Amino acid sequence: MSYVTTEDGTQIFYKDWGPADGTPVLLSHGWPLNADAWDSQALFLAENGCRVIAHDRRGHGRSTQTWAGNEMDTYADDLAVVLDSLDLNGVTLVGHSTGGGEVAHYVGRHGPARVAKLVLVSAVPPLMLRTDDNPEGLPVEVFDDIRAGERASRSQLYRDLADGPFFGHNRRGDVPQGIRDAFWLQGMASGHRAAYECIAAFSATDFREDLAKINVPTLVIHGDDDQIVPFEVGGQRSAKLISGADLKVYDNAGHALPDTEKERLSRDLLDFIHS
């Protein structure tokens, strides 16, 4: 398996699919998942000539289960190590959910020199948590409940999320068992502390300054029935804060677009990469 090593000794696992000279694309996954969450898009893009990198965030999947560094600054720095180690230039960064925060914070923290384009999919920016200057956000009790579930029985929490709001199965009842099982399996492969601390990272990190710094072509994709990052909290506002961003709204779609809308999302990503 392929790894890069960060300054604190953390090993970050990554997949590298497709032709070595293909247009580079990096896919950043959501919580509490890993690179496998992107397999459908990674295969499609690689088969269509892209070089696709998908990494496991620290504390998740096959990467080191770190005690420290489970916050957005370090996630962005780890991403910089991946890009620098593989010497990726002209890359399209694609982030789903928490991964959307990671790629936005990478640009805000490290600059866009290696980046050609950016895609935010059901992403957590600009700020999920309700604060005095962010009244559109969600109350802290929402995230406290997730933290309580992570501590009480993370296995049950992941099962409840998979069977309920993550895929929108509670609305439509049409998400195959195998897809829901894959969410549970990936979640259980994450480190307990890392997954717990990541809840604060995705909910309480303020990405508004990062979005203001983005000056590359950006596509924002969000479902208007997203029960995890509501459209009005996430994609709608991010598209307004990023200069020149394009917004695609998936009607009646939920949060887990890489699974529930995989063909449409794959095609939209490829079209944007080649635009």
Does residue 247 contact residue 236 with C-beta atoms inside 8 Å?
yes
Active site residue 163: no
For 20, counting Cβ atoms within 10 Å of its Cβ (0-12 exposed, 13-18 middle, 19+ buried), the class is: exposed
| Bridge partners for 246 per DSSP | 219
Which member of 56, 78, 210, 226 is catalytic? 226
Q: Give the Cα separation of 15 and 52 in Å (integer).
A: 8
Side chain identity, residue 83: L
Task: Determine how many CB atoms are found less than 10 A away from the CB of residue 171.
Answer: 14
Q: Which residue has the tokens 């010497």?
A: 87
d(CA 245, CA 143) in angstroms, rounded, equals 29
Contact 203, 128 (CB under 8 A): yes
- 97 a catalytic residue: yes
At position 191, the amino acid (one-letter code) is: G
> Which residue out of 60, 105, 222, 255 is catalytically annotated?
255
Catalytic residue at 255? yes
- Residues 15, 52: contact at Cβ < 8 Å? yes
> Angle at which helices 98-110 and 72-85 pack, to 10 degrees?
70
Determine which one of 28, 63, 97, 190 is catalytic. Answer: 97
Catalytic center residues = 97, 226, 255
